[in-house]
Structure 1
Amino acid sequence: MKILIYGAGVQGSYLAHILYRSGNQVDVLARNSRYDELSEQGIRLNHYLQRKQTEDRITVISALPREAYYDFIFVTAKFSDLTEIIEDVKVNISKNIVLVGNNIDTHKWEHDILQYDSSKKILFAFQLTGGKRMNGDINVLRFFKGHMLIGSLSNHQKEINILKNIINPKLYSIKVKSAMEEWLLTHAVNIVTMTALQEIHASNVNDLVKDKHGWKLVAKAQIDLYKMLERSGYQIKPALQKNLVRSPTLFTIGMSLLYRMPLLDMMQSTVEETNELFDSFEMKRQQSGMELKHFSELRGITTYPSS
């Protein structure tokens, strides 16, 4: 299969590595200094927990020509970069697009692409991998083999089955989520609220774990968002997420312990992405007509500008 990975950060680099090692023809789209790095040295990964290094010489491109055909295009860029990238992939002749990563506007992106070309198949996925770029290399954080959750708003089981068949199951597993949109929304609630508190303390772990008031506010903001999603007709997936914040005190203790782990700096979102997620949740709040007191309070004490 001929595959394009659109984005060469942690997620894109690891996915390119897996698809390449599974015997596919893989191109990676990268720009600026990352394009130069990959052209010179390939994709170099430091598998943090596995204590090993890999290097893959993969074709690197800096632009997506309209007539360049791929069996699948995986978009692995940040949520905040999707607007520009969607404009690029929707005019390309390839038919199968997989949007990987934080995403709470699935209907918007699918509608935008299909309005241009109704024959395209749109999948949404999340790769359970963390990491950090350091001096041209990627430090990858994964437990056991790589893992991806995937689903669609329409019934695209045929395309999902094709993906399962082109990836070596010894290296990577794909799990189908029937409620992928709801899973992404639930996950984004965690990301946007917890990253906000990290930003308030400039990711200073010592200050972060001591901020009991801040963690209680995060828990209450999450409850606000879960109520809004449920009123809008969504289910919380997994339901356990909602149960974890029912006791803000226990949630605070749990988060304080979690953020003492040294691996957490490899599992964080960027300021730009978090701000876009805030904006999207605010738009959903306006559509619901609900007042989200704690969510608004949390954003108010961050440096993320209100839309």
Structure 2
Amino acid sequence: MKFLIYGAGVIGSIFAGKLASSGCDVTVLARGKRFNELKKHGVILMQPGAKKQEQVFVKVIDTLTPEDIYDYIIVVMQRTQVDTVLPVLSQNKSPNIVFVVNTAAGYDSWAEAVGEKRLMFGFPSAGGERQNGQVNYFIGKGFMRIFQTTTFAEYSGKTTQRLDVLVQIFRKAGIPAVITRNMDNWQKNHVAMVTSIGNALYRYDGDNYALSHSYKDVRLMISGIKEGFSVLSRLDIQITPTKLYFFKLPTGLLAIIFQVFMGTKLAEITMAKHTVAAKDEMKALQDEFDILIRKSGMITPSINQLRKNLIF
């Protein structure tokens, strides 16, 4: 099975390394310094607490031509970057293009660019940071799956053979994966969460440990998330996945739980580091969610208060 990972950041590197280690034929599209790092040293992964690096050599390209055919192209990049690659993807003839991109704005422009029949989606339960060519990473397993599991979907919402194959390949690579029938709902719910979490962290310059010491600000963060879900409910967008009904617990109880979580290394790796590294994307996601707020006609005082932290 031939994969192209279009984007060589943290998530792209994790996917590339794990898929290649499991026996897939993996090519990574990268540019500049990252292209040279991958050419010379391959993908270097390191889990927290591990004693040894995982080093996997993959093919590396810096340009995708129309004739470069892969079984799956997995587009892994920030929301602010994806529109620039749509013309290239539209010309390529590969049959399956999987957008692993955070958005609350729907998929019309992507469907127009690559065609509805080729369009698939994914979202990772993985993260970390890249330092000196090495990716220090985590993958959502065990307890972490309470919050999120790597998820894939078809544009049509159907469960197809190619979708089942993709999920099985990821599971074989050590990345637990599931299917959703409505990725648009799934992602809108995700953005409702991450915008409030990110904006709460920005008050403390991305320091999750500092945030964990403020019950008031963590409670405001939880109130913002709940307001976000209420906005979606007003627009007849269901909570997806169902595990997010966890947020129906009392605000005070959730604030205590998240105070504890925000004081952990896991919160630093899974939330804080990405928030700091992706300010432009977080601003774009807030802008997208603000459109939904206006459509709902709801008043969102907690979200409004948290949004002020985006001024940096």
- TM-score normalised by structure 1 residue count: 0.88
The runs of 4+ residues in structure 1 deviating greater than 6 Å are none
Pairwise CA distance, 1:243? 4.3
Counterparts in 2 of 1:299 and 1:143: CA distance versus 1, 3 Å: closer
Moved more, 166-175 or 33-42: 166-175
For residue 175 of structure 2, what is the aligned residue in structure 1?
172
How far apart, CA to CA, are the structure 2 residues paired with 1:7 and 1:63? 11
What secondary structure is seen at the aligned counterpart in 2 of 1:103? coil
Deviations 1:72-115 (A, max 9, x none): 1001112222222333322322221111242323x33xx22332
- Which residue of structure 2 aligns with residue 302 of structure 1? 310
Partner amino acid, structure 2, of 1:15: F
1:77 corresponds to: 77
Q: Is the 8 Å Cα contact of residues 49 and 143 (structure 1) preserved in structure 2? A: no
Aligned to 1:151: 153
Question: Helix, strand or coil for the counterpart of 2:55?
Answer: strand
Q: Does 1:285 align with 2:257?
A: no
Identify the residue that residue 38 of structure 1 maps to in structure 2: 38
Q: Which moved more, 1:205-214 or 1:38-47?
A: 205-214
In 2, Cα distance between the equivalents of 1:201 and 1:221?
17
CA contact (8 A) 1:220 1:245 kept: no
Name the SS for the 2:205 alignment partner: coil
Q: Shift of the alpha carbon at 1:49?
A: 4.6
- Matched to 1:178, the amino acid is R
Distance 1:260 1:36 in 2: 37
CA–CA separation in structure 2 for the residues paired with 1:245 and 1:218: 14
State the aligned residue count: 301
Contact 1:26/1:59 (8 A) holds in 2: yes
Query: Which structure carries more helix by proportion?
Result: 2
Residue of structure 2 equivalent to 1:28: 28
- Does structure 1 retain, via aligned residues, the 8 Å contact 2:128–2:136? yes
Task: Output the CA distance in 2 between the equivalents of 1:52 and 1:184.
Answer: 35
**Counterpart secondary structure, 1:272:** helix
Residues in 2 aligned to 1:103 and 1:180: alpha-carbon distance in whole angstroms: 10
Q: Which segment is superposed worse, 45-54 or 93-102?
A: 45-54
- Measure the CA separation in 2 of the matches of 1:250 and 1:36: 49
Aligned equivalent of 2:267: 264
Give 1:244 shift.
2.6
1:12 CA displacement: 0.7
Percent identity for Structure 1 against Structure 2:
25
238 and 143 in structure 1: CA distance in 2 versus 1, 3 angstrom threshold: closer
Range that drifts further, 283-292 or 139-148: 139-148
Aligned positions of 1:231-246 closer than 5 A: 231-244=234-247, 246=249
Taking structure 2 as the reference length, what is the TM-score of the superposition? 0.87
In the aligned structure 1, how far is the partner of 2:265 from the partner of 2:216?
23
> What is the deviation of 1:137?
0.3
Give the whole-Å Cα distance in 2 for the aligned partners of 1:101 and 1:64: 19
User: Is 1:67–1:93's contact at 8 Å kept on the other side of the alignment?
Assistant: yes
Inter-partner Cα distance in structure 1 for 2:168 and 2:249: 41
Gaps of 5+ in 2: none
Distance 1:92 1:290 in 2: 42
Correspondence 1:204-283 to 2 at 5 A:
204-244=207-247, 246-268=249-271, 269=274, 270-283=278-291
Name the structure 2 match of 1:94: 94
User: Which amino acid is the alignment partner of residue 153 of structure 1?
Assistant: Y
Mapped partners of 2:288, 2:139: distance in 1: 29
- Contact 1:226–1:242 under 8 Å retained in 2: no
Contact 1:131 1:138 in 2 (8 A): yes
Matched with 1:140 is 137
Q: RMSD of aligned C-alpha atoms?
A: 2.4
Q: Is the 8 A contact 2:222 2:251 kept in 1?
A: yes
Higher mean C-alpha displacement, 45-54 vs 134-143: 45-54
3-state SS in 1 of match to 2:176: strand
User: Aligned equivalents of 2:165 and 2:173: distance in 1?
Assistant: 16
Cα 1:91/1:112, change in 2 over 3 Å: farther
Instruction: Report deviation, 1:130.
Output: 1.9
Give CA deviations for 1:19-77 in whole Å, capped at 9, x if unaligned: 21232221101122111111111101112255442111111111222332211100111
